[in-house]
Amino acid sequence: MKILYTLCLSLTIWILATTYGNSQENPETTNSEIQDLHSVKEKIIQEEKEALKKAVENIESRLQAQAITETEAEALKKAAAEKHALNIENRFAIASNQSELIKRNGADSTSGYGTRIILGIGQVDIDNDFIFGIKVQNKNKDKKRKYDRRTTTGFVFAFGLNNAITEGKSLDDSDFKIGGSRFAELGWSWKTRVFKNSNWLRIKYGVSFQFNGLKPIDNQFYVDTGEQTELQVHPLELKKSKFRMDNLVAPIHFEFGPSKKTEGENYFRYSTKKQFVFGLGGYAGVNLGARQKLKYRADGERQKQKIKADYNTNNFIYGLSAYVGWGGTSLYAKYDLNPIFKNNAVDQRNVSLGLRLDFD
């Protein structure tokens, strides 16, 4: 039944294509031009027949898996046949117009294949979305859309408030400015669906740069005493005191939440756009360095110090993180389990709260 149905559909397309091809031929066209155009049309027919065959096979697979009913399968096969018949008709018209254009101008200026560089904001297609930036797209006519993309990739950007929890103190007694201390995170992530036929659970992992800033209160700054790193009052009035630690980490989260399934003729995709998302996990990595910036006046002159030093910071970074939100926008929190400084009598641990944007 399956083979018979495919042959019938293919024969229908072939008859339509042949009829249309004959109606498009110009008696004044040279034999060479007719042959070239005929070859192009034969290739179009072959490509559409192959595409139809794969579409029917996919429909049969879904029917055997009881994902669709017999009635739905017949309707999908009919729609696929009509689609590829129209494809042949439209592509024949394009080929004929291109042939005329080449004869007039000596070059094909209508080719839709090759490499494009896209710069802007918006959606490229169902498989490749981007919010902003540059995308290099290779339009290869032989490239087939993958039936199931279980893993997707995307850019991650987070920012917000940063602080440090000091052992024996609450955030209300923090030694750092609540609004002035900030963090940022830039990274690239991969998201993989855990189950074959469901997208309610995903694993999200990648690599990120974290920039954690702290601004001490009460005219304080960090001093490396050799054995410990402690806050001390500066002898001059500070206009600015900021300490920053940069990390390279590998985050991993279990992401939960519903998704929308989109099915095409020969592919399907899951999307979490405009859906509730919840992620729970952590991160581990290395400290890339620490630096401190001080601004003050001395002898009537403005002074600026940028000090890059070890400050006895921990080299290994690890912590817990979570996010909850809607689509690609989430409320994001992270907490370092490692103390910021080694060998200090009182431990301080970095904590952050802000907004997370996932462009995947």
b/e sequence 254-291, b meaning 16+ C-beta within 10 Å: ebebebeeeeebbbebbebeeeebebebbbebebeebe
Residues with Cβ within 8 Å of residue 190, at least 6 apart in sequence: 151, 152, 153, 204, 205, 206
Please give the C-alpha separations between residue 232 and each of 102, 243, 265, 294, in angstroms, as whole numbers: 79, 13, 68, 13
Q: What is the pLDDT of residue 142?
A: 53
DSSP reduced 3-state for 341: strand
Q: What is the pLDDT of residue 22?
A: 45
Reading the block at residue 92, the tokens are 């024949």
Q: What are phi and psi of 95, to 5 degrees?
A: -65, -40
Compute the distance between CA of residue 309 and CA of residue 341 in angstroms, rounded to an integer: 13
Compute the distance between CA of residue 109 and CA of residue 26 in angstroms, rounded to an integer: 22
Compute the distance between CA of residue 293 and CA of residue 86 in angstroms, rounded to an integer: 67
Other CB atoms within 10 Å distance of the CB of residue 253: 22
Q: What is the pLDDT of residue 329?
A: 95
Q: What is the pLDDT of residue 168?
A: 83
Q: What is the pLDDT of residue 36?
A: 66
Q: What's the CA angle centered on 135, arms 129 and 137, to 5 degrees?
A: 95
DSSP string, 247-279: EEEEEEEEEE---EEEE-SS-EEEE-TTSEEEE
Mean pLDDT by 10 residues, the chain (360 residues): 49 48 44 64 85 86 84 87 87 79 59 48 44 50 75 95 90 88 96 93 97 94 89 91 96 96 85 94 96 90 89 95 96 97 91 94
Return the closest-CA partner of residue 221 out of 209, 206, 237, 207.
Answer: 237
Q: Strands, E, within 196-347: which ranges?
A: 198-214, 220-224, 229-233, 238-256, 260-263, 268-271, 276-298, 301-309, 316-326, 329-336
Q: What is the pLDDT of residue 33?
A: 53
Compute the distance between CA of residue 311 and CA of residue 228 in angstroms, rounded to an integer: 8
Q: What is the pLDDT of residue 131?
A: 45
Task: With residue 35 as reference, give the H or E element that holds it.
Answer: helix 31-64
Q: Are 92 and 84 in contact (CB under 8 A)?
A: no
13: which strand partners? none
Return the closest-CA partner of residue 9 out of 64, 67, 60, 69.
Answer: 60
